[in-house]
Amino acid sequence: MEMPIWIGEPEAVAIELELRQMKAMRPLTHDLMCNMLEEIGVEVVRVIINDLRDDTFYAVITLQWGNDTFEIDARPSDSIALALRANAPIYVAEHVARTAGIHPKPSDEETERFMRLVGDIDLPEL
């Protein structure tokens, strides 16, 4: 499933760099956030894209410090960039996925592979 979320160029670059496992010459904002949290012993537990209102996505970052857990309201783009750096899971609330999710059309190769598989099934054997 794909979910189109409009984000700014700096956030897109931050996400892309992390996905490609590339580092900027100097820490970017999300690197700084992650480094600061790590330095004071705060763990990024998870990110949840938890709402969609008026074509705007909302997210929360769950943080843990000792036995205390906090949820911080944040933009999805910042949340995703931080979660990637902290190796934290990213979730999407079910109602958001139902509303905004796009099921991409299978590629021609996937369709052809499926048709070959179905064509090889011997129905009387089932």
Structural domain boundaries in the chain: 9-125
Q: Which residue(s) pair with 63 in the sheet?
A: 44, 70
12, 29, 74, 46 alpha-carbon torsion, rounded to 10°: 90
Considering the entire predicted model, what is its pTM? Answer: 0.78
Query: Options 3.40.50.720, 3.40.50.970, 3.10.690.10, 3.40.50.620; which CATH number does 9-125 get?
Result: 3.10.690.10
Give the integer Cα–Cα distance in Å for 86 and 66. Answer: 17
Convert the pLDDT of each residue in 12-67 to its tens digit: 999 999 999 998 899 999 999 999 999 999 999 999 999 999 999 999 999 999 99
Work out the percent of the chain whose per-residue pLDDT is above 70: 88
- 40 sits in the region (left: phi over 0; alpha: psi -120 to 50; else beta) called alpha
d(CA 36, CA 86): 12
pLDDT for residue 118: 60
